[in-house]
Amino acid sequence: MNSLFHRDLWVEILSSLKSNGARTFVTAFGVFWGIFIMVLLLSAASGFETGIKSKFKGIATNSIFIWTQKTSLEYKGMPRNRWYHFDIQDAQAIKDNIKGLRIVSPQNNFTTEIKHITKEGSFKVEGNAPEFLGQKALKLTQGRFINQKDIDQKRKIAIIGWGLIDELYEKGEDVIGSFIKIKGVNFKVVGVFKDTSINGQKNIRAQQNVHIPFNTFSQVFNFGDRVNYFFITADDDQSATELKNKIITLLQTRHKINPKDKRAIGNFDLNEQFEKFNMLFATLKIVSFFVGIMILISGVIGISNIMLIVIKERTKEIGIRRALGATPMVIKKQIILESVFLTILSGMAGVSFASLILFFVNLKIDSMDPVDLMILNPIINLPTLFTIFIILVFFGLLAGLIPANKAVKMKPINAIRTE
Amino acid sequence: MIRITDIYKSYQIGKNTLPVLKGIDFNVDKGEMVSIMGSSGSGKSTLLNIIGILDEADRGTYNLDGIEVKNLNEKIAAKYRNQFLGFIFQSFNLINYKTALDNVALPLYYQGVSRKKREEKALFYLDKVGLSNWAKHVPSELSGGQKQRVAIARALASDPKVLLADEPTGALDTKTSYGVMELLQQINDEGKTVIIVTHEPDIAAMTKRNVELKDGLIISDKIIEPVRATLYV
Ligand SMILES: Nc1ncnc2c1ncn2[C@@H]1O[C@H](COP(=O)(O)OP(=O)(O)OP(=O)(O)O)[C@@H](O)[C@H]1O
Ligand SMILES: [Mg+2]
């Protein structure tokens, strides 16, 4: 290894590259271009991923949502088109029977009149569990969310969306500690939230919801033990999609639903959606790499070709060097290193130029509203750079190998005799 | 120094075999200065290249300073060329993008001599051929005679046992040729063995022994009293 970094060797390499300056440059361009395209494509893919994922930020993506619908098949003496409800015991049953779930939170909701002093309007009220905060992209801007005591004591407290403040309050009025009337019942406001999901940012209605404790909702609005929705999040090492069928089967048994009835239990599989995105991004990355490598290969073939021509032109020189005592190893080493050096140099030039362009693209992106963007922060990361470097070294070796072998194949005397 | 017995060499040209050396016996002792003469195509260069381990004989034995030269792999061959042999060519064969100094230092580079030592030695030999002032010049800035002097300095740099010169004056005018011969005589005076291929009788007359080749055989081999080149310079 030591000899690889010997100054004399590099003086030799540089002087022979310099002696072919113009051609060295033209040769290097193929690799430069391949890497340039590859870096841009990879960065675009990564930026696209960051952009899309930012829209899922704060949401527990490994989740499914379940709700009740009408049955569509008869079963055990029950008619079709029957309305049924989940109940609060289902939550415990799901937790007990299906391993690998992190949160099972029930929800009931409706839209109703909400009034504060003189101002009023019709808004959505949700009865939620404390864990719900970790499942949705909700950010508390003031106060607190529902806690276990609120549930246990069925406290009449509310957390309101920030979009409600303008609707119900005067300017400068204190929100925390104030009271609102939901369907005529007084609730004390203990928190204000902001929905940071993409839906929340696009849709003002999402910022005007009211959250109250699930148990309070059931009692005050006479829901008994019925539940309309379950928000279920799986453990990080589990897939919600894989557990979905187990959950549905369990609920079917508990509510006498025909196992073949696909319509009775409505569900939305966020995890599956998210996985589809992940697949898309993975595919994009592979395609970028593939396209880049293809261009790179043509660049490398170019380098190999030019090296072959250079070797041919330098046949005599190589013969002279061998007459002076250069072993085939020394000659080969020099040619291969020339090739690797050239490949890395032009590749890194490609990376640098692409980075420069990305820098300006990022400047532009930063000046725009992230909500409207599908691409965020398109950059190339260090592991990818490292991979590119390894690929360059490998291709450089490959490009130098054939010319290097050719260079020493000829007998020294024949090499010297060539003109 | 050199013991060659019954050497044969032929070249394959298409389907035909062209015999070039047809049984050469040739010995050279240490300190000799030998010229090889003969008409074009008689095999002079071929013989010299075999002596220089740049080419290999088909048959026969070659012993260089006690070492049997036979079926060497390229690595060993390169080592022997580097340590035992110094080459001087008709067309100089300097590396055109390297300075005179770097050209002379090249054999030392392949010996693994350190940069500083190399430059020191190279400068010493450049001085010996009278070109220390031209050390930083590239070959294109030198005259033919100067180029050949640089080549001689390069051949001397690794202090070889034998200098092999294939028509060293072939590309030079008479006056310059004598200058080069003066230098080679001087080097021989210091004890170095020198073998020169030439077809110029006046150059051959400046060596101590004349060997004549004809159709791949040595037809005459005689010791002579060398003419000192100094007289003509
Ligand atoms: N590598 C080779 N391949 C084929 N033929 C060759 C090769 N080298 C030499 N020859 C042939 O062998 C013969 C002898 O060549 P050589 O170079 O030894 O002659 P020479 O005595 O040095 O002649 P000159 O005075 O012209 O230099 C010539 O006919 C030449 O064409
Ligand atoms: Mg010849």
Kindly report the number of other CB atoms within 10 A of residue A122's CB atom: 9
Has residue A270 got a pLDDT over 70?
A: yes
- In whole angstroms, give the CA distance from residue A266 to residue A69: 6
Q: Does residue A98 or residue A313 have the better pLDDT?
A: A98
Has residue A367 got a pLDDT over 80?
A: no
Q: What is the pLDDT of residues A301-339, one digit of tens each?
A: 888 888 888 788 888 889 999 999 999 998 898 888 888
For ligand 1, pick from B10, B11, B215 the residue to mutate: most ligand atoms within 8 Å of CB: B11
pLDDT at A313: 81
- Residue B51 near residue B1 (C-beta atoms within 8 A): no
- Residue A347 near residue A388 (C-beta atoms within 8 A): yes
Tell me the pLDDT band of A1, cut-offs 50, 70 and 90: very low
Give the amino acid at A262.
Answer: K
Residue B177 CB–ligand 1 contact under 6 Å:
no
Range scoring the smallest mean pLDDT among A19-33, A165-179, B49-63: A19-33
Q: Between B109, B154, B158, which is nearest A8 by CB?
A: B109
Cα distances from A226 to residues A27, A67, A212, A292, A307, in angstroms, run 74, 12, 16, 57, 78
Residue B91 CB–ligand 1 contact under 6 Å:
no
In a domain, B10, yes or no: no
| ipTM for this prediction | 0.93
Which tokens go with B76? 């060993």
Does the global pTM surpass 0.80?
Answer: no
Query: Residue B212: helix, strand or coil by DSSP?
Result: strand
Residue B38 CB–ligand 1 contact under 6 Å:
yes
In a domain, B175, yes or no: yes
Best interface-test mutation with A: which of B74, B140, B158 has the largest number of A CBs within 10 A?
B74
Name the closest-CA residue to atom 10, ligand 1.
B11
| Count: domains in chain B | 1
Containing structural domain, residue B104: 29-54+74-231
Query: Residue B223: helix, strand or coil by DSSP?
Result: strand
In a domain, B116, yes or no: yes
Partner residues linked to A121 by β-bridges = A114
Residues sharing a CB contact under 8 Å with residue A46, sequence separation 6 or more, in sequence order: A285, A378, A379, A380, A381
| Number of residues assigned to chain A | 419
Has residue A200 got a pLDDT over 70?
A: no
- In whole angstroms, give the CA distance from residue A305 to residue A406: 12
Give the amino acid at A22.
Answer: A
Residues sharing a CB contact under 8 Å with residue A312, sequence separation 6 or more, in sequence order: none
pLDDT at A3: 61
Q: How far is the CA of B45 from the centre of ligand 1 (A)?
A: 7
pLDDT at A369: 66
In a domain, B5, yes or no: no
For tokens 């490949």, name the residue. Answer: A343
Partner residues linked to B211 by β-bridges = B36, B221
For ligand 1, pick from B20, B35, B218 the residue to mutate: most ligand atoms within 8 Å of CB: B20
- In whole angstroms, give the CA distance from residue A335 to residue B6: 39
- Residue B27 near residue B64 (C-beta atoms within 8 A): no
Has residue A44 got a pLDDT over 90?
A: no
Tell me the pLDDT band of A2, cut-offs 50, 70 and 90: very low
Residue B198 CB–ligand 1 contact under 6 Å:
no
CA angle A160, A163, A166 (to 5 degrees): 105
- In whole angstroms, give the CA distance from residue A47 to residue A370: 12
Query: Residue B209: helix, strand or coil by DSSP?
Result: strand
Q: Between B74, B89, B158, which is nearest A328 by CB?
A: B74
Q: B192 and chain A: CB distance < 8 Å anywhere? A: no
In a domain, B2, yes or no: no
Q: Which helix (H) or strand (E) holds A142?
A: strand A138-143
Residues sharing a CB contact under 8 Å with residue A313, sequence separation 6 or more, in sequence order: none
In a domain, B8, yes or no: no
Q: What is the pLDDT of residues A271-308, one digit of tens each?
A: 888 888 888 888 988 888 888 888 888 888 888 888 88
Q: Chain-centre distance of CA B20, in angstroms?
A: 20
- In whole angstroms, give the CA distance from residue A338 to residue A304: 11
Tell me the pLDDT band of A236, cut-offs 50, 70 and 90: confident
Q: Does residue A301 or residue A8 have the better pLDDT?
A: A301
- In whole angstroms, give the CA distance from residue B48 to residue B87: 10
Name the closest-CA residue to atom 2, ligand 1.
B11
pLDDT at A14: 79
In a domain, B115, yes or no: yes
- Residue A150 near residue A213 (C-beta atoms within 8 A): yes
CATH number of the domain that residue B172 is part of: 3.40.50.300
CA angle A224, A225, A229 (to 5 degrees): 115
Has residue A230 got a pLDDT over 60?
A: yes
- A413/B55 Cβ within 8 A: yes
DSSP B226: P
- Residue A208 near residue A167 (C-beta atoms within 8 A): yes
pLDDT, averaged per 10 consecutive residues of chain B (233 residues), comes to 94 92 95 95 94 93 92 90 93 91 94 92 94 94 94 94 94 92 94 94 95 94 93 79
Q: In chain A, which residue's Cα lies nearest the Cα of B105?
A: A324
Backbone angles phi and psi of A287, in degrees to 5: -60, -45
In a domain, B216, yes or no: yes
